[in-house]
Chains A and B, each alone.
Chain A
Amino acid sequence: MSDQTAQPATDELHYVQYEVEKEDVYLPAIRQLISKDLSEPYSIYVYRYFLYQWGDLCYMALDSSNNLIGVVVCKLETHRSGTFRGYIAMLAVQESHRGKGIATKLVCMAIDAMTARDADEVVLETEVTNTASLKLYERLGFLRSKRLHRYYLNGNTAFRLVLYLKPGTATKRPPEVGDFGQYAQYGDAEEELRSREGIQAQTRIT
């Protein structure tokens, strides 16, 4: 599927899955690439949080000398709503390589991997002014589901983007609703509060 959409990437690039065993090789480069566009850096723990648990959902674009050109970092777990939800946490491409479809290719690989692991949906947030990022995801089939006022620490507003992968996702329910106590009441609102401190890593892609 991803083959149809990804623009032909630069010849010498190759795409590989992250390997936890090679953390010392990959992680410093990943951190450097991602934190370049962020006002607030993430600690190494945040990267490890994703990479240790969902390394197989992280893909990298490397050039012929194995320099990191692009990376996508994701997670996939059962969400409170009852869906098996993929989340694209970080996506970045070296500035000099933007506009060549590398980010699209990386995202496609991640979505393919999540599909293979039976994900119901894929979600992410991105700044309302990040046109390149919005275009990328919307070309792939994502829709904007809600607007999140002042979502990021810098005061910027975000869109939540969602892609359903399977029919019946909208009506999925958690096994036992009662367990969620008071949080069930405000549903997503609570989640928004929890995650707003954080992931602002859909960096400018073109």
Chain B
Amino acid sequence: MTEPMPPGGSTSGKEGGALTQEQPGVSAASTTLPLRHSLRAAAIDPKLHDITEKFTEACNALKIGQLVKDEYFTLFESIGALEIMDTKMDSGFLQPGETLDEVYDTLAPLLPEEVIGIMDQLLCYEMAWHTGYPLSQTLLTSVYIDKLLWPEPRSVEQAQFYRGYVSEERRPGLLLRVLRAYCLALVKCVDSGIAVITNRDFFEEEDICTHTYNRVLFPQVGADVFVGELEDVIQNVQECAEEYITDDLKKAMLVRLEFRKNFLAALDLECPLDQLNKHWPLMQSNLVAINVTHQLGKPVEGSFSTKIQRRLASTVPPRPIVVLEFKDAFEKLKQLCADCEEATRFTSLPQNPLEYQSFMWAFASRSPPPLTYSRSYLSNLLFHPSSDLSILLQSDLGSLVFPASVVLDPSNWALSPPQNPNLPKDKRFQLAQLINDFTERAGHAYLEFWTALGQNRCRLRRMLCHAILGFDQVQNDAYTIDEGIMALTQEMGSAPENEIMPYPLTTWSYYRKLWMMEKVVFLGFEQDIYLPDEFAAQYHFLSTIASTRSRLLTNVSTHINAKYRRLFAAEGQTLRVATLVETANYVDSLLAESIGVHELSTALAKFWMVVLYLGLLGGKKLARPFSSPELRYELRMKPFWTLQPAEVPPFEEFRRDVWSYGPYDKLTPRFLEDLQNPQAELWMELDEAVKRAKEAWAQVKRFGAKSARAEGVEESWKREIQGVLASCVALGVAVAGIKGQAPKDLGEIRVEIPKVGSGKRYREGWVVGKVCRG
């Protein structure tokens, strides 16, 4: 607390911290206010003490502006402080003549077009909530919804636009009953939405606000009850004579009720997996009809009010109602339905973690980005109770490092330890134990990886940075387990299925880690994190990671080929041979892809290096008086500094590679000479890299989506590969525009960076400059 209080303006802490530290008596006195729940149980018999005098006296000892707080009172908490009597902060402050509550009469009869209007207004607020605004500024501003939910009804029956007794003539007629059923179903839709989102251990409060402000949204009542309410009024409306509701209004009303019914069913968390794909397509036809009949509705602005926020359990003052235009809300709704419909395809994917991964990645890459609900919906399918993460992980291992191997033979898990502990354990049993051990150690990082794939793109990048550290530890742990596995398989004899590659688990963990590192850099370009003068450096770094990944995959490939030859020569191994061929295809596709990433990023690193030397981007050089290249390098490489083996080259080595011709602002004679000589190593290497990149990506394309384990998202996979190939071509063109030019001829040339999201990049992460004249 700061003291003394200026007249008409005091401050208070939001909860805990400063306020209760200083005024132990106050918390009991304020429990009647609808504040958030206290962590401590309420005192049974509160004793009230008037401390005003003591408090005022104590305050006199403080200087103006002096802060009294404990060391745990953070900035976040200080932001929650309010000023009494400030209109923007004090939720109880009334302007002269202003009433505390809304005077809107929820029992006044409505016209059919008004009911339709309100339904569409509600839809706008519902979608505003889905895009991240709190309920307090959206749906809970509806006077109708407020009446239904407060005071808290004990049953659905009691949730009416009135409480207690109303005279016969005031009782709601058909139209109000229609609105009530619609509102109740809408409330349940929000409840189901929150259930799906909070069902995951980790979700983002920045994306969606799940706070219900002490309003209870019928979590205990099944969706069928609300469907029943809707069906009742649907029937009533259908039977209603035309003189009451004209035919077109009736149709408009019915399609909205039908839509709500389908939406409710689709959002239901209890919906069985095999029924999932039924509901979303049904809504498509509803949507079209809602859109064309929207103009029939007549909005009732008075039925929404910011004042309701005063009575919600929130310490923040009333904030303005969020306005989302119907056409925007409608687009969001369409997107939500399309995304969720796409997500249901997850259940019919080939059962393979790599297919899942391709699907999740493609889903997160959809444009516009899927809303939180859709992403949670998909994550719920991935983490469905019927799926087992350790099985997923073992299948992942099998797909890369243990194809057709005794190590993952399911029968290993059927064995038991010998009854006599002095007898040696079966080797297969021991193998199962080692794999179990690894599964346990890797489980956390592996879970984090899958969780990351369900986040918004910004958070995906940050969580991958964290998962990389997890996998670094896993890789470290894998080493010892690998030695155990290698020793056991060696003892088991020379049958081809006993043959394993050296350090398989280490290889797998390392492979996963490198893949994520590439994605972090790639997403950095996609999210506009890197400044133009970092492009060369970041593509150079990407090329080194990709080349390490290529080397790793080459080892895997060598092992698989050798094993294939042995298995092929042996008898009765048809099944194993088939598995191995499948893995070989996958690894070949990965290998081509890693070479593609390596070559294209090498070429881009060189291209941007030349552009930066020549200053073709225009604009002034950044002075950066407080920084140095070394410090910026350290900051940029922070997520990777501690990795083992070391992935971040020492600064000097990095400087040599990225600033081959000295600092960017000094053009050396050697650079000028190379620049004008098309045969110079610089250009030869650049052209070669572009050529090899094209070849590698063309090869990935030839191997196809099935080999890349992206069969479930073949279309978007093809688009992606096509985008990369187009980037290679564009780079070739850009290089040709600069190569061999004398600096004096470059005067008219400038290089444009296609902006993120402008549609001018073939792939967001591959930034190819456009060479322009004039």
Contact = CB atoms under 8 A, between A and B. Distances in A.
Chain B: interface secondary structure? loop
Contacts of A53: 67
A169 B456 CA distance: 28
B65 A52 contact: yes
A166 B81 CA distance: 35
Interface in A115-168: 115, 121, 128, 138-151, 155, 157, 159, 162-168
Contact of A155 (B88, B133, B624): B133
A75 interface: yes
B622 interface: yes
A167 B65 CA distance: 37
B65 A197 contact: no
A170 B67 contact: no
B527 interface: yes
Chain A: interface secondary structure? mixed
Given A45-B11, A146-B529, A197-B79, A5 B625 contact: yes
B631 interface: yes
Nearest to B460: A149
A23 B635 contact: no
B78 A46 contact: yes
A48 B623 contact: no
B147 interface: no
Interface stretch (B433-441, B461-469, B670-678): B461-469
Contacts of A4: 623, 625
Nearest to B444: A185
Interface stretch (A9-17, A36-44, A60-68): A36-44
B636 A44 contact: no
B462 A44 contact: no
Contacts of B456: 149
A168 B634 CA distance: 8
Interface stretch (B541-549, B637-645, B682-690): B637-645
A21 to B, nearest CB: 8
A196 B569 CA distance: 63
Contacts of B133: 155
A195 interface: yes
Contacts of A111: 626
B206 A192 contact: yes
B631 A164 contact: yes
Given A4-B623, A27-B65, A149 B457 contact: yes
B339 to A, nearest CB: 17
Contacts of B78: 45-46, 49
Interface residues of A, number: 65
A148 B634 CA distance: 21
B529 A145 contact: yes
B531 interface: yes
Contact of A52 (B67, B79, B319, B627): B67
Given A43-B83, A193-B206, A2 B76 contact: no
Contact of B463 (A148, A189, A195): A189
Contacts of A140: 623-627
A148 B641 contact: no
B104 to A, nearest CB: 27
A24 interface: yes
A198 B77 CA distance: 10
Interface in A71-96: 75
Contacts of B623: 4-5, 139-140
A194 B74 contact: yes
A24 B630 contact: no
A34 to B, nearest CB: 13
B363 to A, nearest CB: 17
A141 B132 contact: no
Contact of A198 (B11, B66, B76, B637): B76
A194 B205 CA distance: 10
Given A2-B625, A48-B65, A150-B206, A43 B89 contact: yes
Nearest to A128: B528
A14 B66 CA distance: 27
A166 B89 CA distance: 41
- Output the residue of A43, A143, A150 with the most chain B CB within 10 A: A43
Given A49-B75, A49-B78, A155 B132 contact: yes
A183 to B, nearest CB: 12
A170 B457 contact: no
A104 to B, nearest CB: 10
B75 A195 contact: yes
A143 B466 CA distance: 20
5 contacts: A1-B625, A20-B65, A45-B2, A146-B461, A192-B206
Interface of B: 2, 6, 9, 11-13, 63-67, 74-76, 78-83, 86, 88-89, 131-133, 204-207, 319, 456-459, 461-463, 466, 527-531, 534, 622-627, 630-632, 634-638, 641-642
Closest 7 CB pairs of A and B: A141-B627, A45-B81, A141-B624, A23-B65, A149-B458, A52-B67, A49-B78
